Structure 1
Amino acid sequence: MADDHARELPVIANHVIREGNGIPLVLVHGFPVDSRMWGRCAMALMELSDADELVQYPIWAPDMPGAGESPVPTAAQSGRENEDGSLPDGLDRIADAYVALLNDAGYTQAIWAGLSMGGYVVLGIQRRHPQAVAGIALLDTKGDADSDQAHASRIAIAKECVERQTTEPVMFFVDVHEGDSSVKKSAAYIDQFSQWIREQQPDGVAWRERMAATRPDLN
């Protein structure tokens, strides 16, 4: 991928939860929120590693492009755009940006943990940069490409987010369903997750939907 190095990549704001030694653990968050979703999980990981007297490995929780403190990618950073607005190069650009973030910090490998859309990113990293993968954790995600219906739904959501400058089209992520965990059904979870969604950039939510809509099959 020598020609890839000349491309402009999306900017990723990294949050170093813990400095340390050894191979970093990189937590890749889900949609439509940002890295804050990892807060309690990261604390639990640190407590477990301390209790077991393990090496104090670095823990990172970057914000995906367009989420949290990461800016919405420019057209140059996004690559090609299809007629419906979907971004066929988007996932590759994100994967490359995460690995560039790792390399710029002096590391060659990480353990990558991805939840939901974060799992798409981790699978993209594995596909494009297997040498950067020391381990993978895939959480509530899948390798399948979107169906035509799912693709169309993402594009419609993205369009509404941009035109109305709102994150309201993705507020359904806080809806409670039969079989959900007691945590997801709790008022505290619903309030917190709703707040995080409302604090996202509508254009950033749209960009991530347009990226995911045309991702390849990653199985």
Structure 2
Amino acid sequence: MPNTQTIPVNDIAMHVRTEGAGIPVLLVHGFPLDHTMWDAQVEVLAEHCRVIAPDLRGYGATELADAGDPPKITMQQYADDLAALLDALGVDEPVVYAGFSMGGYIGWQFVKNHRDKLRALVLVDTRASDDADDARKMRLKMANHVQEWGAEKVAEAMIPKLFAESSLDALHPMVARTREVISATNPLAIAAAQRGMAERPDSTPDLAGINVPTMAIVGAEDQLSQPEEVQRVVNAIPNAGLVVIPAAGHMAPVEQPDAVNLVLTEFVKSLNA
């Protein structure tokens, strides 16, 4: 059975799964998902590491608390929650931060504001730039209407963009499970995250100053964080690496878990070399 607990963090009760021992690896899920997107990674990494996989504020079994009116959670607030979680868990050494999609956006703020807690960085299907005007308008449209639409409509809109075309059979377990998770998400949490992402800063100017070991992973068919864009991020970070995962879209850790697990385990092992 998964080892999960709920811990007071800032003004919320945060739900987190922890497994294994060794180098702490913090797995940060994307929008609008929860920690279970990492299940295949947790099982493998726990053989080598202390894995920490939380539900972000408002997602999964973690409380949203008061997100304001209209609701908004900034990437820095999510990052501050994660730093406080590490303190609450008694993690006294720097972590390998692995952020997927929005988890990567949060990661830029973690690097900037909690560098003392960072040992290495893994960027999974994410990017550094802020939104173009059209994308920002779409985020704000969803934020303004998601309560009337319901999370199920968000799932319907997002699923085709998340997976490689070969994975999109509605009966495929990974697609069905992702649809289920999104559909169960609190619409207020969706709205709050969309507003936070819409105003996130461009982190591209900060890339050259990242001085920890960094690895990027991206699906070859990712429509949202395209491999060419991720390559530009990697080129800007000193000594960063990139692995492109074949037959995967945006949800590479779910679509091709064995390939992603191999990259993650080899990267973590290299930190002890």
**TM-score greater than 0.5 by the shorter chain:** yes
Within-5 A mapping of 1:23-102: 23-46=23-46, 49=47, 56-75=48-67, 87=72, 90-102=74-86
How far apart are the structure 1 equivalents of 2:167 and 2:27?
A: 20
CA contact (8 A) 1:28 1:113 kept: yes
Shift of 1:188: 1.7
Q: Say which of 102, 116, 123 aligns to 1:138.
A: 123
CA contact (8 A) 1:12 1:63 kept: no
Shift of 1:164: 3.8
CA contact (8 A) 1:165 1:203 kept: no
Q: Secondary structure at the match of 1:14?
A: strand
The equivalent of 2:100 in structure 1 is 115
Structure with the greater relative contact order (CA < 8 A, sep ≥ 6): 1 or 2? 1
Shift of 1:189: 1.8
Q: Say which of 180, 190, 194 aligns to 1:209.
A: 194
How far apart are the structure 2 equivalents of 1:128 and 1:168?
A: 35
CA contact (8 A) 1:160 1:169 kept: no
How far apart are the structure 1 equivalents of 2:199 and 2:53?
A: 25
Write the letter of the residue equivalent to 1:114: G
Q: Go from structure 1 to structure 2 and tell me whether the alpha carbon gap of 1:207 and 1:37 turns closer, same or farther (over 3 Å shift).
A: same
How far apart are the structure 2 equivalents of 1:106 and 1:44?
A: 23
Shift of 1:86: 7.8
Matched, 1:148 2:149: no
Write the letter of the residue equivalent to 1:57: C
Q: Can you give the 5+ residue segments of structure 1 that lack an aligned partner in the other structure? A: 1-7, 50-55
The equivalent of 1:11 in structure 2 is 12
CA contact (8 A) 2:12 2:65 kept: yes
Shift of 1:170: 4.1
Q: Deviations over 1:100-154 (max 9, x none)?
A: 1111222242111011111111121001111110111000000111111111110
Shift of 1:162: 2.2
Shift of 1:163: 3.3
Q: Which structure shows the bigger proportion of residues in strand conformation? A: 2
Shift of 1:14: 3.4
Matched, 1:192 2:177: yes
Superposed CA RMSD in Å reads 2.5
Q: Can you give the 5+ residue segments of structure 2 that lack an aligned partner in the other structure? A: 1-8, 205-273
Shift of 1:184: 5.4
How far apart are the structure 2 equivalents of 1:170 and 1:16?
A: 24
CA contact (8 A) 1:86 1:214 kept: no
CA contact (8 A) 1:28 1:114 kept: yes
CA contact (8 A) 1:65 1:72 kept: yes
Write the letter of the residue equivalent to 1:60: I
The equivalent of 2:226 in structure 1 is none
Determine what percentage of the aligned residue pairs are the same residue. Answer: 26
How far apart are the structure 2 equivalents of 1:184 and 1:141?
A: 21
After superposing on structure 2, the runs of 4+ consecutive aligned residues of structure 1 that deviate more than 6 Å are none
Give TM-score, length-normalised by structure 1.
0.78
Shift of 1:165: 4.0
